[in-house]
Structure 1
Amino acid sequence: MPKPDATTKDRSTVRVLLRLWPYVRPVRARIGTAAVVAVVASCLGLVIPLVLKWIVDGPVARREPGGVWFGALVVLALGVAEAVLFGLRRWLVARPLAGVEAAMRAGLYRHLQRLPVAFHDRWASGQLLSRATTDLSLIRMFLAFPLTFLFVNGVTVVVGCGVLLVQDWTLGLVLLLPVAPLIVVCSLFESRYSLVARRAQDQVGDLTTVVEESVLGIRIIKGFGRHRSQAEAFGGLAERLRGTELGKARLLAGIWAVITIVPELAIGAALVLGTVQVADGALSAGTLVAFLSTALALRWPVESIGFLLAMSQEAATSVERYFEVMDEAEEDDGGSRAVPPVPASGPGGLRFENVSFRYPDAPEGAPPVLDGVDLVVRPGETMALVGATGSGKTTLTALVPRLHEVTGGRVLLDGVDVAAMPRERLRELVSVAFEEPTLFSASVGENVLMGAGPGGAGGPELGRALEVAQAGFVRDLPHGTGTQVGEQGLSLSGGQRQRLALARAVVGRPRFLVLDDPLSALDVHTEALVEAALREVLRDTTALVVAHRPSTVMLADRVALLSGGRVTAVGTHQELLRDSREYAWLMSGAGTTGGAE
């Protein structure tokens, strides 16, 4: 993840916020109309002091009660009109800005789906979640309130200052004296607050990550009695966030105090000076009342500057964080839709030609995970991939559906380079079952049919896939294939999740099948049944199977031994037992062959 303070320190808040324009442009008419309505409403408030001046210098001075009542009704009408217009402004922006937030959230979600696996390996899920929730809410709040009222209050202050100067220019200059120091204070506040706001929002992301991990890993926490240590870790992050939020509060309190006290002092000075002028007869009482009423009406636009700037800074930070993700390059689709379709039969199969791979975040000078891999899986053949922990088996299988991009060499499916094949087409041809089965908060049927491709599959294909995976336990679930499995499928056992993941891999009858130790969580009897059914499926597909046990190896026509990032031997199980000491050692169970690679 990027370092937040480095990106925030010298930024332009306006330039950052302007990145929202593509999302705001479709609703600009409604937002513009709302801003005009708010300006009119705010300026109506400045008319009230002029009415008060007329009342004091006219009906009050002449002792005409009828004129006073008329003036009071005018003031009441102006107040009601102001309230109605502000309500109209809120109605005008509510729906379109909710649409802007929804569009940004949908865009972020679509983009996350198209980012490479390497990106998701680097970023904590809590940081991504906080961007899709907290940050977007802050952006919507900025568009609904500070964006409009920084403009509205600015116009109101300018108009109000004009009214003050027209009424009495000497008193007006007294009130304008604090403008220069307030501008300096606001500039200092903005630069400091932006750093603290960024730090707080990143810490919210860290806290979200801890909560998410604790919920998903609750069985581990309870099983090992680690609730106290997890609570301490959470408490430490929460305390750090609390400290940062208190720092924000201190900055906001400071700017609020300055913005409140300085104008109050100016109003007090104008009151004293104006009273002296009224006593000398140089100023009418009505003018003084109107002047002070106008000054008091401008208190809110001036005093609101502090928290409007604070909300704008938080929104700018949220925009930065949002576009940190959106600016990440998506996966290259690989060629155009004009790529010729892969032939239904013929020579080719699955080929690795001088394939090398290094993870993007690997330390400089570290050896590649794969280095010059050459391997051919013939059409319709099942190849078992065997190797010690860390030999690169899982990494090699991830290159087939392009979950990672090769660093060198190429991977071919029936003679077509996967890098030149549209990902949608590639993933129609290749189906994958991972060692760690992942299920979603959906029904059993929906989870399995995710592997059916865009064309979908019906009940017969679903039943066939469940039969291949020996997932007959589904019939005993409360609602059969319609049973909701819950988050991560944790309501099921490890073996049940693995069988559903295997059913998902075979339901679409893929041309190429990649299985990463698909039977590791099964008991011996279930494993034997799955293997028998899986042999029928493997007859009609070209398959690469990561194997850690002899029983899984026996599913394959041939076996490839991966060692030190290279394929060091290829042959039948019996041939490798006879000719390769490393393979015999691995198959004897003396080697440590489990785990992620």
Structure 2
Amino acid sequence: MSASADPPAAPARKRSVVRSLLRLWPYVRPVRARVFGAALVAIVAASMGLIMPLVLKWIVDGPVTDGDTAGVWLGGGVLLAVGVIESLLFGLRRWLVARPLAGVEADMRSALYRHVQRLPVSFHDRWATGQLLSRGTGDLQLLRMFLAFGLTFLIVNSATILIGFGVLMAQGWQLGLVLAAPVVPLIWLCVAFETRFSLVARRAQDQMGDLTTVVEESILGIRIIKGFGRHRSQARAFHELSGRLRDTELRKARLLAGIWLVILTLPEVFLGAALVLGVAQVADGDLTAGTLVAFMTTAMALRWPVESIGFLLALCNEAATATDRFFEVMDAEIPAEAAREATAADAAAAGDGLRFENVVFRFPDSPPDSEPVLNGVDLHIRPGETLALVGGTGSGKTTLIGLVPRLHEVTSGRITLDGTDIATLPRERVRELVAVAFEEPTLFSATVRENVLMGAEDAGRAELDRALRVSQAADFVAALPAGVETEVGEQGLSLSGGQRQRLALARAVVGRPRFLVLDDPLSALDVHTEARVEAALREVLADTTALVVAHRPSTVQLADRVALLSGGRIAAVGSHAELLHTNAEYRHLMTGEHAESEVSVS
């Protein structure tokens, strides 16, 4: 088991870090006052640190030179007060941004979740679950850290460096020029670092998504892994992906170590040169001792802002990558509602049941000249009728029924419900009219009651009991520890396959839908339970228009008529008995008898 799909490749063009980060503005805008207020407070706090060298200069050139003990105590008190104010201001900065930026992260996560829920099934077919999970968790946490820390200190440290160099130049322009000398090579190195680091950062975050997918699939598929003794192969797959991620992270660490080495070493060399030059000027009487002390103290105060450049650049790149990954999902288009207006023919055909008119479908990411999965399907299920859909493996039965609740959109042609084209209806309305139950039942980590009532949120206990009775689930549900309030666990894996399928069927019928679409809903049941479910289902099917995918004669017998899907078209329609006698392909599918002549089954 491995990642089911990879996300679309990142754009090959060089992306702008600033342009990427600016896309966060709509989410930050509601709290901009507190964010920029926090940055302003932090700048003031950092400026307090630059006041200390000036106080030291006054102490050395004044009270210390004059032997004024009271003045020394006064200067020490001023230094203590400045330090306390600086600490309080930094605490205020943290208080200002903590709550609003936690809200920004929550808003972005909610927006991502809502968007993912609205995206078509074709999107989820292409994307691995782990990639989506990593974007909604790790990437958003990284963005919150950047907004709370990286962005603030990028602004603060830049302002501190500018103010600090202004103070240095005012104290001694020659010494200031010495310290300013490494600025140009540092800028060039930082640009080169940003280009290389951004590629590695993106690779690491994508690999983390792949690793998350493997972990998620391994946990969900633990019974298969244990049943087939595949734990060693899964461990190897995990080890391989983990090793790739480790190598990429080490590559990031080497790049970061290299830029840190340069950023730490280069200023230290020039700081030493400035100190030698300053001592010589003091010896010559061109500079006071207090000015040299203030100059060197200011230069030391600028060490952290300068040294943090490498870390902040790395954080900016990782945040920009996380932003790109977030918007890769958010930029995925949701199919537009109401593709066309209802026509007079629609209105005139009210009460017409379910109708497919020349329906053609090919998957959105398939080549334009590829053969469509469905090619001109024409089918009419009359009001109150149950029609069984039969076809060979890969004939497109599941795709066809997925078009009814608009899990996919038709490429051409149309589908109508009681005469109204479903493309003219909001998806919410279509899914109110159409209930579905799939062959692979999906349950959620919730109670039995919550899982069943997903089919009709406003249904009461009477409807719940009826649905459980129809699906023959009432007895086993009553035997559960807490009855309908029992948690079924993730994916409902605490239940058997037949129990999950019966709950999925109960979910489909609980809301008494006008249209019912069932994808082989009885495949996991034993023959005795199947017979009881069929008997109860007849009561439900008598009051609804139903399309049922069937693979067994017992399921076909629930239907009034049968349609054979072959080669992307409806090849025959009739009763079960009629098709057994007149259609060789249908007879082969239902009885296993070989056709007298070769029959193509798609």
2:200 aligns to what SS in structure 1? helix
Q: 1:345-396 deviations in whole A, cap 9, x for unaligned?
A: 9541100001111112335643211111100000000000001101111111
Query: Structure 2 counterpart of 1:116, which letter?
Result: P
Q: 1:95-132 deviations in whole A, cap 9, x for unaligned?
A: 00000000000000000010000000000000000000
- Tell me if structure 2 keeps the 8 A contact 1:339–1:420: no
Partner of 1:498: 501
1:334 aligns to what SS in structure 2? coil
From the superposition, tell whether residues 434 and 343 of structure 1 become closer, same or farther in structure 2 (CA, over 3 Å). farther
Query: Structure 2 counterpart of 1:358, which letter?
Result: R
Q: TM-score, normalised by structure 2?
A: 0.96
CA distance in 1, matches of 2:343, 2:193: 57
2:11 to 6, 24, 43: 6
Partner of 1:297: 301
Partner of 1:458: 460
Partner of 2:49: 45
- Tell me if structure 1 keeps the 8 A contact 2:341–2:424: no
Partner of 1:268: 272
Partner of 1:486: 489
Q: Is the aligned partner of 1:508 residue 2:541?
A: no
Partner of 1:252: 256
CA distance in 2, matches of 1:68, 1:148: 35
Query: Structure 2 counterpart of 1:448, which letter?
Result: V
CA distance in 2, matches of 1:364, 1:162: 64
Structure 2: 5+ residue runs without aligned partners? Answer: 1-5, 596-601
Query: Structure 2 counterpart of 1:479, which letter?
Result: A
1:409 aligns to what SS in structure 2? strand
Q: 1:450-497 deviations in whole A, cap 9, x for unaligned?
A: 0015xx100000000000000021000000000000000000000000
CA distance in 2, matches of 1:478, 1:371: 50
CA distance in 2, matches of 1:546, 1:344: 29
1:544 to 541, 544, 547: 547
- Tell me if structure 2 keeps the 8 A contact 1:339–1:421: no
CA distance in 1, matches of 2:211, 2:14: 27
CA distance in 2, matches of 1:500, 1:344: 38
- Tell me if structure 1 keeps the 8 A contact 2:350–2:420: no
From the superposition, tell whether residues 5 and 359 of structure 1 become closer, same or farther in structure 2 (CA, over 3 Å). closer
From the superposition, tell whether residues 93 and 538 of structure 1 become closer, same or farther in structure 2 (CA, over 3 Å). same
Query: Structure 1 counterpart of 2:233, which letter?
Result: S
CA distance in 1, matches of 2:357, 2:218: 43
CA distance in 2, matches of 1:386, 1:171: 88
Partner of 1:436: 440
1:6 aligns to what SS in structure 2? coil
- Tell me if structure 1 keeps the 8 A contact 2:7–2:126: no
Query: Structure 1 counterpart of 2:543, which letter?
Result: D
From the superposition, tell whether residues 4 and 86 of structure 1 become closer, same or farther in structure 2 (CA, over 3 Å). farther
Partner of 1:173: 177
1:200 to 182, 200, 204: 204
2:217 aligns to what SS in structure 1? helix
Q: Is the aligned partner of 1:586 residue 2:589?
A: yes
Q: Is the aligned partner of 1:318 residue 2:322?
A: yes
Partner of 1:449: 453
CA distance in 1, matches of 2:318, 2:561: 59
1:145 aligns to what SS in structure 2? helix
**How is 1:8-47 mapped onto 2 (pairs within 5 angstroms)?**
9-47=13-51
- Tell me if structure 2 keeps the 8 A contact 1:558–1:572: yes
CA distance in 1, matches of 2:589, 2:262: 74
Partner of 1:559: 562
From the superposition, tell whether residues 337 and 58 of structure 1 become closer, same or farther in structure 2 (CA, over 3 Å). farther
1:527 to 526, 530, 533: 530
Partner of 2:403: 399
CA distance in 2, matches of 1:520, 1:297: 73
CA distance in 1, matches of 2:460, 2:117: 26
Partner of 1:58: 62
Partner of 2:472: 470
Q: CA deviation at 1:203?
A: 0.2
Query: Structure 2 counterpart of 1:466, which letter?
Result: L
Aligned residues: 589
- Tell me if structure 2 keeps the 8 A contact 1:352–1:374: yes
Q: Which moved more, 1:556-565 or 1:57-66?
A: 57-66
Q: CA deviation at 1:335?
A: 5.8
Q: 1:437-458 deviations in whole A, cap 9, x for unaligned?
A: 00000000000000015xx100
Q: CA deviation at 1:238?
A: 0.3
Query: Structure 1 counterpart of 2:328, which letter?
Result: E
Q: Which moved more, 1:59-68 or 1:560-569?
A: 59-68
Query: Structure 2 counterpart of 1:541, which letter?
Result: T
Q: CA deviation at 1:332?
A: 2.3
Partner of 1:155: 159
2:229 aligns to what SS in structure 1? coil
Q: Which moved more, 1:408-417 or 1:343-352?
A: 343-352
1:351 aligns to what SS in structure 2? strand
2:132 to 128, 135, 146: 128
**How is 1:236-251 mapped onto 2 (pairs within 5 angstroms)?**
236-251=240-255
Q: CA deviation at 1:589?
A: 3.4
CA distance in 1, matches of 2:68, 2:343: 90
- Tell me if structure 2 keeps the 8 A contact 1:5–1:195: no
Partner of 1:225: 229
Q: CA deviation at 1:3?
A: 5.1
CA distance in 2, matches of 1:71, 1:358: 80
Query: Structure 1 counterpart of 2:485, which letter?
Result: G
Partner of 1:377: 381
Q: 1:28-65 deviations in whole A, cap 9, x for unaligned?
A: 00011101100000000000000000111111111122
Partner of 1:108: 112
Q: TM-score, normalised by structure 1?
A: 0.96
1:545 aligns to what SS in structure 2? strand
Structure 1: 5+ residue runs without aligned partners? Answer: none
Q: CA deviation at 1:87?
A: 0.7
- Tell me if structure 2 keeps the 8 A contact 1:336–1:421: no
